[in-house]
Structure 1
């Protein structure tokens, strides 16, 4: 388009790319959420060159899920009157 600066063109392209990623028909919301959880549990955001950080992150996140399940079970038991 005439009159658009390179920054505006770049911004428009970035917005369109983001919309295309978010409206990807290849997976439902559940599939995308499962992929995000998998990446989170694999510690993809940790520094890959530091194996101790990667494994520490994985172990910490696994312990967090175990504690969440135990707490949820305890709360259900408590409210059920047991």
Structure 2
């Protein structure tokens, strides 16, 4: 009996989570994208037990973002000046 109740609770929890994730009235696409970018830049996926990995990941991702932005600015200026 207890096993049946546990599986029923687990099933309800999964269904509630799916309903929450697919709710069109929930977070907007822009909100989810901004949160994803924030989590990526702050190394939310890095191992929190290793501070060197966290700071190294943050530094590397920030440096990569700045490099990409610099290349985009250079490309725009290059195209505007007429090659």
TM-score range for the pair, normalised by the shorter chain length: 0.7 to 0.9
Q: How far is 1:72 from its partner?
A: 0.2
CA separation of 1:59 and 1:24: change in aligned 2, threshold 3 A = farther
* 4+ residue runs over 6 A deviation: none
* 1:81 Cα deviation from its structure 2 partner: 1.4
Match of 2:63 in 1: 63
Structure 1 spans left out of the alignment, 5+ residues? 1-5
Map 1:1-82 → 2, pairs under 5 A: 14=14, 17-18=17-18, 20-23=20-23, 25-81=25-81
CA contact (8 A) 2:20 2:26 kept: no
Deviation of the 1:57 alpha carbon:
0.1
Q: RMSD across aligned C-alpha pairs, in angstroms?
A: 2.4
**TM superposition score normalised by structure 1:** 0.73
Deviation at 1:16, TM superposition (A): 6.9
The 1:19–1:26 alpha-carbon spacing in structure 2 relative to 1, beyond 3 Å, is closer
